[in-house]
Amino acid sequence: MKAFISGGCKNGKSSWAENLAQRLAGDSPLYYIATMIPCDAEDHQRIEKHRLSRAGKGFCTLEQPTRIHQVLDYSDYARGTYLLDSVTALMLNEMYPRNASLPDVQAPHRVCHDLSFLLAQAKNVVLVSDYIYSDTGHYPKYTQDYCKALAQVDRHLARICDTVVEMSAHQPIYYKGGNL
């Protein structure tokens, strides 16, 4: 099963995805792919909140902020279930690497390729992304470019996943696949 979950901030995406990943895993290995590179105290608090919410649920955390397919090198991908949280952070890390003066314009293509490879190899994958590209605000070019890149990756994932869900007010809205 390959599931793509999107939605706005604080809509229950991560909790819902954790529960889905646990159900899909059964007794098989359960991996949480953490992609966020913390930049400030708020990021550290968010990471800690996610760690606490996963405590005791059987997740083995894999820190992989870039080149996501590399998790397959040190996990049981033939039997494992992966929860990747989040595509949003992964895209940011790939497109705007630390200490780089310019964005990596190849990042959306690479992220699509790497995630497609992960999806093709692993038994179950649950992907979480943030729906941040639909408002009408005026943003600097680098923000607009990032939003376009994330939307490109999200559209690709929606095409290739079995199930596509939007979380809204902590309720799943299914666009593809049945109720899980």
- DSSP structure class, residue 59: P
For 88-123, what is each residue's pLDDT tens digit?
Answer: 999 999 999 988 889 999 999 999 999 999 999 999
DSSP β-bridge partners for residue 61: 32
Q: Is the pLDDT of residue 9 over 90?
A: no
Number of other residues whose CB lies within 10 A of the CB of residue 12: 16
What pLDDT score does 113 carry? 98
**Cis peptide leading into 75, omega within 30 of 0?**
no
Span 54-76, average pLDDT: 93
Sheet holding 30-34, edge to edge: 60-63, 30-34, 81-85, 124-128, 2-7, 163-168, 171-176
CA dihedral 78, 84, 87, 88 (to 10 degrees): -170
pLDDT reported for residue 176? 96
State pTM to two decimals.
Answer: 0.93
The confidence score (pLDDT) of residue 61 equals 93
List Cβ neighbours of 20 (8 Å cut-off, separation of 6 or more).
3, 5, 126, 180
SS3 for 32?
strand
| pLDDT 10s digits, 149-161 | 999 999 999 999 9
Q: How far apart are CA 19 and CA 146, in angstroms?
A: 29
Return the SS3 of 55: coil
State yes or no: pLDDT of 25 exceeds 80: yes
Nearest to 61 by CA among 84, 44, 45: 84
Report the chain's mean pLDDT, rounded to a whole number: 93
Q: Give the pLDDT confidence score for residue 180 in this predicted structure.
A: 73
The rounded percent of the chain whose pLDDT value lies above 90 is 76
Sequence ranges of the domains in the chain: 2-176
* Homologous superfamily, domain 2-176: P-loop containing nucleotide triphosphate hydrolases (3.40.50.300)
Q: What is the pLDDT of residue 122?
A: 94
| Spatial separation of the C-alpha atoms in residues 131 and 129, rounded to whole Å | 7
